[in-house]
Amino acid sequence: MVNPIHFWHFSPKIFKTIYSYYKLGKKRRDVPSYERFSYLSSTPNESENKEKEPSPVDISSLDIYQLVELFIMLLSEQAWRYIGLRVDPHTNKINKDFIRAHVAIDCIISLVDKIESKLENAERERLRRLITDLQLNYAEQMK
């Protein structure tokens, strides 16, 4: 079986965006509502002691090619889940759905084809390896 490419192989700015939104969402779910904005009332000493977290990046500030790369990343994560090689974080179960995996892989191929001319060679090769890994794992899991 081919090892899946992990989502953190994408550009640092895209990863920082996703990570900051993940952390923001995690905080909102895990912290009671009265504590969510406690940083507004913290003293300077308290805020200095707190762990520095990345600030969310405004998605509207991203270039179209960065947005397409973000969509490719999101689709690839979903494809790995639908193939059955990653656990669904909402249910903590493996859910196979080959029809949806096929659609996600086809969308990734289409998006990569659209931006391929604007990519550097290393980035183009990385995305082509991602597609190949997805296709090989899809075929292997279909057996």
Q: Which of 125, 73, 127 is nearest to 104 (CA)?
A: 73
Task: Give the pLDDT confidence score for residue 136 in this predicted structure.
Answer: 97
Rounded distance, CA 133 to CA 121, Å?
Answer: 18
pLDDT at 84 > cutoff 80: yes
Average pLDDT score over residue span 96-112: 97
Average pLDDT, the chain: 77
Domain residue limits, the chain:
12-56, 63-143
Output 10 or 65, whichever has higher pLDDT: 65
- Per-residue b or e along 72-91, where b marks 16 or more CB atoms closer than 10 Å to that residue's CB: bbebbbbbbbbbbbbeeeee
The CA-based dihedral angle spanning residues 100, 105, 107, 110, taken in that order and rounded to the nearest 10 degrees: -160
Write out the two tokens for 142: 């279909």
Give the C-alpha separation, 109 to 95, whole Å: 23
Is pLDDT above 80 for 126?
yes
pLDDT for position 14: 58
Q: Closest Cα partner for 4 from 61, 77, 96?
A: 77
Where residue 23 falls among pLDDT bands split at 50, 70, 90? low
Q: How far apart are CA 7 and CA 11, in angstroms?
A: 10
Q: 16-20, 94-98, 102-106, 108-112: which range is least confident on average? A: 16-20
Please list, in sequence order, all residues whose beta carbon lies within 8 angstroms of the beta carbon of residue 76, skipping any fewer than 6 positions away. 5, 7, 104, 108, 130, 134
Q: What is the pLDDT at residue 13?
A: 55
Confidence at residue 56, expressed as pLDDT on a 0 to 100 scale: 74
Mean pLDDT of 115-132: 94
pLDDT at 143: 86
For the cut 90, the answer to whether the pLDDT of residue 100 exceeds it is yes
Q: What is the mean pLDDT of residues 127-142?
A: 96
